[in-house]
Amino acid sequence: MRTTGACLPGSSLRLSWHPLDRLAREPQTCIWEITRRCNLQCIHCENCCGERSARELSAEQIATTARALVELGCRHLHVTGGEPLLHPQWEELCRTFVRLGLRTSLITNGTLLDDDRLARAQGAGVAAVGISLDGLEATHDSIRLRAGAGPSPFRTAMAAVKRACASLPTVVITAVNRRNLAELPALRQLLADVGAQRWQIQLVIPVGRALEVAEPFVIAPAQLEELMAFIAEARKGGQPPHIDTSDTIGYFTERELELRGPAGQPRLWTGCQAGIRALAITYDGRVRGCSIMPPEFDAGDLHDEPITTIWNDAERFAYSTRFDARKLAGACGRCQVGPLCRAGCTTMAYWTTGSIYSNPFCLYRIRGAQA
Partner 1 sequence: MDSLLVPSSIQRIRAFLIEMAGMKVKPWASVDETLHALHATLVARRSCDIFWTSLRTLLEALAGDLKARQEAQAGTLLDNEILSVERYLALLEEIRACLARQSEDAPSFRRLAHGLSAPALGLLLLLGGVATVGCESTSLRSPGSKPDASVTAPASQPDAHPPADLARERMPGQPDATADRVPDNNPIIIVVPQPDAAVAPSTGPYDAPVTMQEILNSCGVASADQSPILSCLNSLGEAWATGVTDYLAGKSCDTVTSYLSDVEWCAQSGGCRAMPSTTPFNPDQEPCAQPVLVYLGVRFV
- The residues of the shown chain that bind partner 1, judged by CB under 8 A, are 2, 4-5, 8-9, 11-17, 19, 206, 210-213, 215-218, 220-222, 252, 254, 256-257, 266, 268, 270, 293-294, 296-297, 315, 318-319, 322-324, 327, 329-331, 337, 350, 352-358, 360, 369
Closer residue to partner 1 (CB): 262 or 354: 354
Closer residue to partner 1 (CB): 6 or 93: 6
Closer residue to partner 1 (CB): 96 or 358: 358
Residue 122: CB minimum distance to partner 1, A: 38
Enumerate residues 6+ apart whose C-beta is below 8 A from 11: none
Residue 267: CB minimum distance to partner 1, A: 8
Residue 86: CB minimum distance to partner 1, A: 29
The angle at the Cα of 78, spanning 51 to 354, to the nearest 5 degrees, equals 70
Classified as helix, coil or strand, 362 is: coil
Closer residue to partner 1 (CB): 184 or 328: 328
* Cis peptide preceding 185, ω within 30 of 0: no
Residue 135: CB minimum distance to partner 1, A: 18
CB 306 within 8 A of CB 331: no
Q: Which helix (H) or strand (E) holds 77?
A: strand 76-80
Half-sphere exposure of 53 (CA within 13 A, CB side): 19
Q: CB count, 10 Å around CB of 63?
A: 17
Closer residue to partner 1 (CB): 154 or 319: 319
Residue 34: CB minimum distance to partner 1, A: 25
Closer residue to partner 1 (CB): 285 or 360: 360
Q: CB count, 10 Å around CB of 263?
A: 10
The conformation of residue 100, written as its DSSP 8-state character, comes to: T
